[in-house]
Amino acid sequence: MTSTPTYATREDVKAALDFKQSARADRQIDRALHTASRGVDALCRRRFYPEVATRSWDWPNAQRARPWRLWLDENELLSVTEVTTGGDVVPLESVFLEPNAYGPPYNQIQLDTASASSGWIGGDTHQRSITITGLYAGCRNDETTAGATTGALSDAATTVPVDAAASAQVGVGSLLRLDTERVIVTGRRQADTGQTLTADIDAQAKTVLLSVADGAQFAIEETILIDGERCHIVDIAGNSLIVRRAWDGSTLAAHTTGTAVYAPRALAVTRGALGTTAAAHSGAATVHLFTPPSLVHQLSLAEAINVLLQEQAGWFRTATGGSTSREATLTALTALRTQVYDALGRKARLRGV
């Protein structure tokens, strides 16, 4: 089970490449996404997903910082719950997270020089004498409300049932928050929606209107399963679903009235992820979806697609022009990498004071 999220999802890649659904393809895509996401972290020299952690620093620190300031460097903070120095707890009202003008994230922490805790102090040893517990990330903790759970969860459950809204927005690799617990989606399983077709449909791609008893039970962008065919909902009009047929490499087929409609609303998850604790949740807990910066999402998707296509070509993709072939260039991908680093890369400090 994965311990870190990806910045794009398995479903994003499949939509871009029209990958046929198979366990082999899933593993290949997941591997490419993790490679791409961690590559973006390395490129920008910061991590973009939020994690609750306690980290420590030596005193006096090797940065030769002023006695009331501590540079965090790659350990950028979004918020703080506890600070200690020399074994003593520092009142949070004496803690300044900087730069306050445009953070979070914050790359330094200062002690209020007008307070009793005006400087960092050492304990019995200078090693790890400063500890900071908080939420660490290299970007803002932006979240959207994706939907809600449809059943109560114990602290040991490994499957999260969600509604249509969450099913439409969440993919494998997504980072979700339920109350204070974060979970990482590792798989999606089909669940009965309780709906059936109310009219026959033929096996023609031009037949894109599916009639159901209650269209409000579905969401635009949700993928549904009817017999062995997957359909992607692009619009909803009353009790009619307008879909793209034979989605995800499935086979176009005819279906009869009364056929059950399924959707991937059972999420397999890693519980208590990124420093949080697995807990019980109510039957209608709000599902919060972490959204990385758009450039990070785009580069992760592009890098994953490049890995997949390179693997298929034995890492020698070619472009054909007339009667000649040449190795495909990565000009667009290189330009995107530069754009992401320029916008979001952590730059070196010019003065370590």
With CA atoms as reference, report the closest residue to 191 among 134, 131, 266: 266
Structure confidence at residue 157 (pLDDT): 96
Return the minimum-mean-pLDDT range out of 87-101, 134-148, 165-179, 316-330.
316-330
Q: Which residues pair with 91 in a beta bridge?
A: none
Question: How confident is the model over 290-333, as pLDDT tens digits?
Answer: 999 999 999 999 999 999 988 888 887 776 655 565 667 789 99
With CA atoms as reference, report the closest residue to 276 among 155, 144, 140, 132: 155
Structure tokens at 192: 């009965």
**Residue found under tokens 């307070």:** 115
Question: How confident is the model over 273-290, as pLDDT tens digits?
Answer: 999 999 999 989 999 999
Give the mean model confidence (pLDDT) for residues 81-100. Answer: 94
Question: How confident is the model over 127-163, as pLDDT tens digits?
Answer: 888 999 999 999 999 999 999 999 999 999 999 999 9
In the predicted structure, residue 351 carries a pLDDT above the cut 60:
no
Please state, as a whole number, how many other Cβ atoms lie within 10 Å of the Cβ of residue 113.
14
Structure confidence at residue 127 (pLDDT): 85
Structure confidence at residue 291 (pLDDT): 97
Please state whether the predicted TM-score (pTM) of the whole model is above 0.85: yes
Q: How confident is the model at residue 353 (pLDDT cuts 50, 70, 90)?
A: very low
Three-state DSSP class for residue 33: helix
Structure confidence at residue 25 (pLDDT): 86
Q: For residues 167 and 222, is the Cβ–Cβ distance under 8 A?
A: yes
Structure confidence at residue 65 (pLDDT): 59
CA 312 to mean position of chain CA atoms: 26
Amino acid at 2: T
